[in-house]
Structure 1
Amino acid sequence: MTTTSQPSTEGAQDRRWAGIDWSSTDHAVCIIDEAGTAIDQFVITHDAPGLRQLIKVLLAAGVQEVGIERGDGPVVEALLQAELTVLVIPPSQVKNLRSRYRSAGNKDDRYDAFVLADTIRTDRARRTPLQRDSAATVAMRTTTRARRNLLAHRIAVCNQLAAHLQLVFPGAAGLFSKLDIPISLQFLTKFTTQTDADALTEKKLARWLTSVSYSGGTEPADLHTRLTTAARGITGPEAATHAVTTRAYIAILQALITQIAALEVDLAQQLTLHPDAVIFASLPRVRTLRITRLISEIGDARGRFPTPDALAALAGVVPSTRQSGKVTTISFRFACNRELRDALCDFADGSRHAHPWAKDIYQHAIDRGHTHPHAIRVLARAWTLIIWRCWQNHEAYDPTKHGALQALTHQQTA
């Protein structure tokens, strides 16, 4: 730890605040007093001794509240274990707050630590202390997001393989319905080049499909026709070279598919143990992955969303209103939790296919001239009111208690 000044021993009874500018290797810390004067500034390393020293200095200085730019990680865990109040100020806000103290607004770690500390000193009433989700929810969120990341990699690799095959073996690229399904990968493993496919007759292809238990519904004759009528791929000595690249993509895809499946099994097991599972499982048209996404992104720290509006705003399913003089503009809300918005909008989009009330809200939005994404956000906003109430009351969704749904049902049957 590098210290630039020592904590004052005078006025130890006064309140103290601290700001921490987080980094991957070390963290700049600033402690200020009630007058907003920096009484200690130092840097601690991002390791166990450094974090222990951080807590020791903060407690010795009488710090009770700490401002930081992120709400997770070892630093936050250490602060919470020391029973310090943590207030998260997003980096975008810190960037704007720099000009509050300096006209230049340049990035400086130690200066940012001071800005964080002084902001919670002056604007404490506008800040909500960090509330942690349960360990089960944090684990589910980690698994859910890891699956989504691997799924994105799978799509990217599949697209790369498709582009590669269009150049070297076009017939295989469109042979089956998808390129990253087991039958496609099995075919490419067995018949990797155009030369391999040229040796296939209709009968040989039929025998191979039987040997791998193909159940796709397309007749072998049709598949053989697709192969023979497609553009010719590369043959000759170069084909073997391109086959190495093809096999590399296949290996990556198979590994991704295997790991995604393993994460999905683990998520199903986690869901059986989560206390909020019954709440979200009661919603229409939800299955394991959709339920785990909703639980993961909404969390189970009820105090984080004291009103349904707070949940809707963080999810970005309500517009942002700006007013200046006589001009009022309503625009898309960019500042939000995108993972939460995606989870709620995904659920809302699915619900309209199985729930009359959801279908009605979506259709009314479309009739008003909204685009599909906008209409989905309107529906997600409506669902937010219901989900929040069920979530706060620890109750499953009951369609018979949904007044708007019952009114719509009576109207349709009248």
Structure 2
Amino acid sequence: LRTDMAAHRPLPADSELVQAIAVLARAQQDAVWARGQAHNKLRSQLREFYPAILNAFAQHKQGLCSREARSILAAAPTPTMAAKLTRRRLQSLLKQAGRVRGIQAEAERLHEVFKRDYLHQLPQVEAALGHQTSALLRQLNTACDNADQLAEAVTQAFEEHPDGPVIRSFPGLAALTGARVLAEIGDDRARFASAESLKAYAGSAPVTRASGKSCKVMSRKVKNQRLAAVGYVWAFNSLTRSPGARAHYDRRRAAGDRHVAAQRNLFNRFMGMLFHCLQNSHTYDEAVAFPLASAGLRATAA
């Protein structure tokens, strides 16, 4: 640094609130990843001896991470114990998990699933697997609680930042994903000289390698991995919330891009819009962001 200081960028002058949001958002994302690992370990364990619980919550949105599944699994860590659960006991467990509607019907369904015939391990082996399942369940409970508490904290901090309304105006960004974006780009307006530099930092801008007559366009590997991860979530969620984003994605797919490449291209466009909106304190406008799609919708309505 003493000999080539001009080649290095100064540290961003982010506000104290953004630095706090960055700590909370990264911790929450780590907790989500830990929750996913704990869920996968528990699911792999249950596949060996407890298929009934997997069948019972196969269609549930959160799967084994749901409070209902964790509550029942804590009360019956083995299939033999699950088969002994009465309808009244299942209703009680569902109420303890926070369910308020369809309790009786759900208890009937679970009772029927647990009463089916399944292959069983030897009794002592099943008991040992039940103890291991309880240990893995405690890890999952801790990971779920950590993710939920950190999500509440980061959402509250994000709502206090003045850039929050601008970021949340974009389709596909909610409080949690918006906080992750803000945590990685900061609120120092002089940090990125142009939209292209922000796109390169996010990893959405491609890299062109040219030598002689050969020219290759590849995805960028050196990037902010956390910002790139939330970028794919952002692009995917926007497909159902923005007609312009959906039309842009469909055009990229028709041009030959794979799903991930089309998402990355859409994320790249969103990053350019976000840079402009933050620099000028403007909220997202669908008609300005995707004028061709907006004009087509107006013509169809007419």
Q: Same fold, TM exceeding 0.5?
A: yes
Alignment of 1:177-326 (within 5 A): 177=60, 178-200=63-85, 204=86, 206-212=87-93, 213=95, 214=99, 215=101, 219-229=106-116, 231-326=118-213
Q: Deviations over 1:75-129 (max 9, x none)?
A: xxxxxxxxxxxxxxxxxxxxxxxxxxxxxxxxxxxxxxxxxx4333xxx2x5432
C-alpha displacement of 1:406: 4.1
The TM-score with structure 1 as length reference comes to 0.65
Structure 2 gap ranges (5+): none
Pairwise CA distance, 1:411 = 4.7
Determine if contact 2:83/2:111 at 8 Å carries over to the other structure. no
Post-superposition offset of 1:402: 4.2
CA shift, 1:370, in A, is 0.6
SS at match of 2:216: strand
Q: Does 1:141 align with 2:38?
A: no
Q: CA 1:356–1:403 in structure 2 vs 1: closer, same or farther (change >3 Å)?
A: closer
Q: Report the AA paired with residue 310 of structure 1.
A: S
| 1:173 alignment partner in structure 2 | 54
CA distance in 1, matches of 2:50, 2:288: 58
Structure 1 counterpart of 2:223, from 289, 311, 336: 336
8 A contact 1:278–1:396 mirrored in 2: yes
How many Å apart are 1:277 and its aligned residue? 0.7
Which secondary structure state, in structure 2, belongs to the residue aligned with residue 303 of structure 1?
A: coil
Q: Distance in 1 between matches of 2:169 and 2:45?
A: 44
Q: Is the Cα–Cα contact under 8 Å of residues 284 and 354 in structure 1 kept in the other structure?
A: yes
- Cα displacement (A) at 1:164: 1.3
In the comparison of the two structures, how many residue pairs are matched?
291
Structure-2 residue corresponding to 1:93: none
Q: 1:356 matched to which residue of 2?
A: 243
How far off its partner does 1:194 sit? 2.6
Q: Which amino acid aligns with 2:71?
A: Q
Q: Which amino acid aligns with 2:258?
A: T
Counterparts of 2:102 and 2:185, CA distance in 1 = 39
What's the offset of the Cα at 1:403?
A: 6.4
Distance 1:192-1:257 versus aligned 2 partners, 3 A rule: same
* CA shift for structure 1 position 256: 1.4
Specify whether residues 197 and 235 from structure 1 end up closer, same or farther in structure 2 by C-alpha distance, changes over 3 A only. farther
Q: What does residue 118 of structure 1 align with?
A: 3
Q: What's the CA shift for 1:413?
A: 4.2
- CA distance in 2: counterparts of 1:209 and 1:372, whole angstroms: 42
| Cα 1:359/1:127, change in 2 over 3 Å | same
Contact 2:245 2:290 in 1 (8 A): no
| Structure 1, unaligned runs of 5 or more | 1-66, 68-116
* 1:242-261 per-position Cα deviation (integer Å, ceiling 9, x unaligned): 22211111111111111211
Separation in 2 of the partners of 1:130 and 1:330?
30
Residue-by-residue CA offset, 1:355-377 (whole Å, 9 max, x unaligned): 11111110100101111110011
Looking at CA atoms only, which structure, 1 or 2, has the larger radius of gyration? 1
Whose RCO is larger (CA < 8 A, sep 6+)?
2
Return the alpha-carbon distance in structure 1 between the equivalents of residues 290 and 127 of structure 2.
66
Structure 1 counterpart SS, 2:10 = coil
3-state secondary structure, aligned to 1:323: strand
- Residue 222 of structure 2 aligns with an amino acid whose one-letter code is A
Task: Name the structure with the higher helix share.
Answer: 2
Query: Do the aligned partners of 2:204 and 2:264 also contact (CA within 8 Å) in 1?
Result: yes
In the alignment, the residues of structure 1 paired with residue 246 and residue 198 of structure 2 have an alpha-carbon distance, to the nearest angstrom, of: 22
Distance in 2 of aligned mates of 1:292 and 1:160? 29
Of Structure 1 and Structure 2, the greater strand share is in 1
2:288 counterpart of 1:407:
no
Deviates more, 1:394-403 or 1:376-385: 394-403
For 1:237, the aligned partner's letter is Q
Residues 362-401 of structure 1 aligned to structure 2 (within 5 Å): 362-399=249-286, 401=288
**CA deviation profile, 1:214-269 (whole Å, cap 9, x unmatched):** 54776444333332335333352333322221111111111111121111111121
Report the 3-state secondary structure (helix = DSSP H, G, I; strand = E; otherwise coil) of the residue aligned with 1:364.
helix
User: Relative to 1, partners in 2 of residues 1:296 and 1:412: Cα closer, same or farther, differing over 3 Å?
Assistant: farther
For residues 293-342 of structure 1, the C-alpha deviation after alignment (integer angstroms, 9 at most, x for no partner) is 12112211111111111111111112110111222111111111121222
Q: Determine the C-alpha separation between the residues in 2 that align with 1:259 and 1:341.
A: 23
Structure 1: how far apart are the matches of 2:171 and 2:64? 31
For 1:141, give the aligned amino acid.
A
| Distance of 1:143 and 1:245 partners within structure 2 | 32
Separation in 1, partners of 2:273, 2:296: 16
**2:52 counterpart letter in structure 1:** G
Q: Aligned partners of 1:402 and 1:192: how far apart in 2?
A: 52
Which amino acid counterpart does residue 147 of structure 2 have in structure 1?
Answer: I
Residues 239 and 302 of structure 1, relative CA distance in 2, 3 Å threshold: same
Question: Does the CA contact (< 8 Å) of 2:202 and 2:223 recur in 1?
Answer: yes
- RMSD over aligned CA atoms reads 2.2
